[in-house]
Amino acid sequence: MDYLQNLNYHYRPGRGWINDPNGLVYFKGYYHIFYQHAPDYELPWQQPMHWGHARTKDFLTFEELPVALCPDKPYDTDGCWSGTATVKDGVLYLFYASIRKDAEGHHAHQTVSVATSTDGIHFEKYAGNPVIDHYPTDGGKDFRDPAVCHINGKYYCVMATGNPETQTGRLLLYESNDLLQWHYVGIMREWADCKYAECPSFLPAEGGYLLAASVCPLEKCHYFSITYGDFCDNKFIPRVKGEVDKGPDQYAGQVFRDHLGRNILISWMPGWKYKGYADRDIGCMSAPRELTLRDGHICAYPVAELQHLLTDSDPAVERTANGFIIRREGREPVVYEGEIHDLKILRDGYIIEVFVNGGREVYSALL
């Protein structure tokens, strides 16, 4: 398998490391994709994280833009980590985890900062950063990945964290009227027996609300949780739960709502275990999937712009009597067992995404 080949419709930068998608947003006629980025290295942690930037009109062709955020302030000298974007009064706001190490070299100071832009290309950091300068007692030092949204005239920020004393992964809720002054509200959602949660998304959807997060249990591998439910008294009450993308080679999904009213999920592929796998970073963004609630199931299916690329078969996918097998080079195959009414495949070089039964289950893999 040629892991250095160009990909046709999965975005990756011309050079440098890429991981989590950040700040997914539709602004001034373009879909903007920001992402964790080391512009000068093909491996992570050789330099503090930046925010890379690309835009597209159709999710088929991408324009790589200048780096949007650089770690150049005292509060973010050790990285501009993951976050989200929102638009207010024609201005694009980027919220990010601003990281500063302590004297022992730990990422101990994890705060929230904001940068703004009127053209979607050039960004200016707010003079009053950080806008959230410490985690509350309900959280812990893993305190990052701000997810900002607008609901019923008020702005909310969901923060991912964990509480070491209770051993729970938690999402904490803040509120604001102006996107700059934030007030802590309380625990919005939590998971028992976890180190922490990461990479949340929160937005209106399907007559309720959608909440997504990567959950990191104490002794198991992380999983990506997507839940539809109700938002009442600053708590999220789940109604329908799903993992949707079973991987195994994806991480850090982010969901945003576009100008057409679609809730779109994009994840990072293939994940941390492949750092240094080839001579250059082989990471990329997944195909965008529209999330819908259908017959009591959360489904993820490629957006309409990409559906003409779907196929019914692929040499890497072997159909079996009770499912299918994805053959991967030099690694364990991905085995699916279950009833299949419909199977669609999206293949782009060394990346494959398999959609089972209209997107009730998705398998994203590096071949």
Per-residue pLDDT tens digits for 113-125 = 999 999 999 999 9
Q: What's the confidence (pLDDT) of residue 221? A: 82
Q: Rounded distance, CA 8 to CA 21, Å?
A: 18
Tens-digit pLDDT profile for residues 1-25? 999 999 999 999 999 999 999 999 9
Q: Rounded distance, CA 148 to CA 132, Å?
A: 13
Sign, Cα dihedral of 289, 342, 348, 336: positive
Q: What's the confidence (pLDDT) of residue 247? A: 83
Averaged pLDDT of the chain: 95
Q: Rounded distance, CA 19 to CA 41, Å?
A: 13
Give the pair of three-digit tokens for residue 241. 């739960």
Q: Rounded distance, CA 293 to CA 206, Å?
A: 7
Tens-digit pLDDT profile for residues 232-263? 999 999 999 988 899 899 999 999 999 999 99
Give the pair of three-digit tokens for residue 324. 């299918």
pTM score above 0.75: yes
Q: Rounded distance, CA 176 to CA 155, Å?
A: 5
Question: Given pLDDT bands bounded at 50, 70 and 90, which one contains residue 286?
Answer: very high
pLDDT at 102 over 90: no
Per the listing, tokens 């499912």 go with: 323
Instruction: Count Cβ atoms below 10 Å from residue 323 Cβ, excluding itself.
Output: 15
The residues facing 97 across adjacent strands are 81, 112
Question: Given pLDDT bands bounded at 50, 70 and 90, which one contains residue 74?
Answer: very high
CB 277 within 8 A of CB 330: no
**Separation in Å, CA 88 to CA 38, 92, 148:** 29, 7, 12
Q: Rounded distance, CA 13 to CA 33, Å?
A: 11
Q: Rounded distance, CA 329 to CA 319, Å?
A: 18
Q: What's the confidence (pLDDT) of residue 219? A: 84
CB 336 within 8 A of CB 324: yes
Q: Rounded distance, CA 363 to CA 246, Å?
A: 5
CATH tag, 17-304: 2.115.10.20
Instruction: Count Cβ atoms below 10 Å from residue 172 Cβ, excluding itself.
Output: 25
In this prediction, residues 74-87 reach a mean pLDDT of 96
Tens-digit pLDDT profile for residues 334-345? 999 999 999 999
Reply yes or no on whether 20 is catalytic.
yes
Nearest of 94, 31, 95 to residue 63 by alpha carbon: 31
Q: Rounded distance, CA 264 to CA 288, Å?
A: 6
CB 229 within 8 A of CB 237: yes
Per the listing, tokens 């990909």 go with: 7
Q: What's the confidence (pLDDT) of residue 103? A: 74
Q: Rounded distance, CA 20 to CA 143, Å?
A: 16
Q: Pick the catalytic residue from 20, 78, 245, 281.
A: 20
Q: Rounded distance, CA 110 to CA 79, Å?
A: 10
pLDDT at 274 over 90: yes
